[in-house]
């Protein structure tokens, strides 16, 4: 048996070939295998701080793709013995948060398998049934990718390998956002700055939606005194309260949905970028400025998450209240909860969330000032028309 591995200088592709020669005088039947062993090693020691998410937020184990659907996972803890995949498959891989080792078959007759290795490791491989007559030879060829879960590198070998990057239900949005992040990096040379630019660009795109939402919430907040009166008056009659509430909205030309729908439109984009940054290998060991030397690791001084929490407090104070005052007080605990969560999140993700908060604060301030000027202008017009109405009544 002869194994030949051919490496490429500019990609992470490996061409694999296993050649078998039957030198005996009898026919041989069996299975030729090619295994990636002992699997990818879980992060330990000094690597733990910079790859905290690999064990906490990312998936580590085997997965395989059949057809054009979503990959199926084969977790090492649930594997007993060996799991065989006999049908046609696109690829099988062993992966962690940032790296992947995958086999791509050369024909549909090949099968794949995954088995539990030492510790939490999972070994994966491919096989092909062979029959050798005396003096004959057979060769099994396959393609392998061993490298980072970086979109450009994965696409260079196979477009289907991009699916090894788990981007959640909003992956169709997250993929172009990651491409844009790398595009900005080529010009500014810093992924922290790239995150800021991308966050600002997304915020600019959604300014019209944010403006509609803010105006609606401002109108709703002006109706709160009347809403409180209705709640006290019809607190035992829920149906009547709903009828009077809708009547109040119609009389004041207020649409409650106009405050929620613009926000719902933005949520998929925000969570797509959040998910993309959570496991982006581009941020691994990528420095920002000053004390942040790794955007994939948590802030060692906890300055950015604490500042992020402060921006959330300020943002909430500037947001018009439209609901129950008790609910508004409960919402004030959200900055505390988010700050506690973000203490261990990647610094790059905290930078994105902080920039979004700061830009939202700036937009809310501008909107508040604009609406104050509009209210002052409307009051001035009403005051100017008051004497005219008085004169009209005297003439009558």
**DSSP assignment of 254-303, as one string?**
--THHHHHHHHHHHHHHHHHHHHHHT-GGGTT---STT---TTS--TT-H
Cα(194)–Cα(185) distance, rounded to whole angstroms? 6
Alpha-carbon gap, residue 94 to 144, rounded angstroms: 11
Percent helix, strand, coil in the chain (nearest 5)? 50, 20, 30
Q: Please give the CATH topology (third level) of the domain spanning 2-164.
A: Beta-galactosidase; Chain A, domain 5 (2.70.98)
Closest CA to 353 of 300, 319, 315: 315
For tokens 């194994």, what's the residue? 3
User: What is the structure's pLDDT at 207?
Assistant: 83
Enumerate the domain spans of the chain.
Answer: 2-164, 172-384
Q: Give pLDDT tens digits along the chain (396 positions).
A: 788 889 988 889 999 888 888 887 788 787 888 888 766 665 443 334 333 334 455 677 888 888 777 888 876 556 677 888 887 888 998 888 888 999 998 888 888 888 877 766 788 888 888 887 887 888 888 899 998 998 888 988 888 898 888 887 888 888 889 889 999 999 999 999 999 999 999 888 888 877 777 677 777 777 777 777 777 777 777 777 777 777 777 777 776 666 566 667 778 888 888 888 887 888 888 898 889 999 988 898 999 999 999 998 888 877 766 555 566 666 777 888 888 888 888 888 899 889 988 998 888 888 777 777 766 776 777 677 666 655 555 555
pLDDT at 48: 40
Q: At what angle are helices 347-395 and 191-205 packed, to 10 degrees?
A: 30
- Exposure string (b/e) for 65-80, b if CB count within 10 Å is 16 or more? bbeeeebeebebeebe
Q: Is-cis flag, bond preceding 27, omega within 30? A: no
**What span, in angstroms and rounded, lies between the C-alpha atoms of 55 and 72?**
19
Sheet with 122-132, edge to edge strand ranges: 28-36, 122-132, 111-116, 82-85
Span between the terminal Cα atoms of the chain, in Å: 113
Output the pTM of the full model: 0.75
| C-alpha to C-alpha distance for 34 and 37, rounded to whole angstroms | 9
* Strands across the sheet containing 2-7: 2-7, 13-21, 137-148, 99-105, 91-95, 61-65, 72-74
- Here the tokens at position 259 are 């405050």
> Rg of the chain over CA atoms, in angstroms?
30
Beta bridge partners of 396: none
């Amino acid at each position: 048996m002869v194994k030949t591995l051919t490496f490429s200088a500019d990609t992470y592709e490996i061409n694999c070939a296993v050649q078998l020669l039957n030198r005996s005088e009898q026919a041989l039947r069996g299975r030729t295998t090619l295994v990636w062993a002992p699997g990818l090693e879980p992060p330990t020691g000094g690597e733990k701080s910079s790859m905290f998410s690999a064990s906490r937020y990312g998936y580590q184990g085997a997965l395989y793709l059949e057809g054009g659907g979503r990959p199926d996972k084969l977790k090492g803890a649930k594997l007993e013995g060996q799991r065989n995949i006999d049908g046609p498959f696109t690829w099988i891989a062993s992966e962690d948060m940032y790296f992947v080792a995958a086999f791509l078959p050369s024909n549909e007759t090949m099968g794949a398998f995954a088995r539990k290795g030492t510790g939490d490791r999972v070994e994966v491989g491919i096989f092909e049934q062979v029959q050798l007559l005396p003096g004959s030879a057979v060769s099994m060829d396959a393609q392998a990718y061993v490298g980072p879960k970086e979109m450009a590198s994965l696409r260079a070998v196979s477009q289907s390998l991009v699916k090894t990057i788990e981007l959640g239900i909003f992956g169709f949005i997250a993929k172009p956002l990651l491409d844009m992040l790398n595009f900005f990096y080529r010009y500014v040379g810093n992924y922290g700055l790239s995150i800021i630019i991308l966050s600002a660009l997304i915020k600019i795109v959604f300014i019209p939606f944010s403006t509609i939402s803010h105006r609606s919430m401002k109108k709703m907040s002006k109706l709160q005194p009347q809403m409180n009166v209705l709640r006290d008056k019809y607190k035992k009659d829920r149906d009547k309260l709903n009828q009077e509430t809708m009547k109040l909205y119609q009389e004041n030309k207020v649409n409650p949905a106009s405050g929620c729908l613009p926000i719902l439109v933005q949520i998929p984009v925000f969570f797509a970028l959040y998910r993309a940054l959570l496991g982006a290998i581009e941020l691994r060991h990528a420095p920002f400025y000053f004390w942040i030397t790794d955007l994939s690791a948590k802030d060692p001084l906890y300055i950015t998450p604490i500042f992020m929490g402060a921006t959330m407090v300020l943002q909430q104070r500037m947001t018009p209240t439209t609901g129950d005052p008790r609910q508004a007080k409960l919402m004030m605990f959200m900055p505390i909860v988010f700050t506690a969560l973000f203490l261990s999140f990647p610094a790059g993700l905290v930078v994105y969330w902080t920039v979004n908060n700061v830009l939202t604060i700036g937009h809310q301030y501008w909107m508040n000032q604009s609406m104050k000027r509009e209210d002052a202008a409307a009051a001035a017009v009403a005051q100017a028309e008051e004497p005219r109405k008085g004169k009209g009544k005297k003439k009558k």
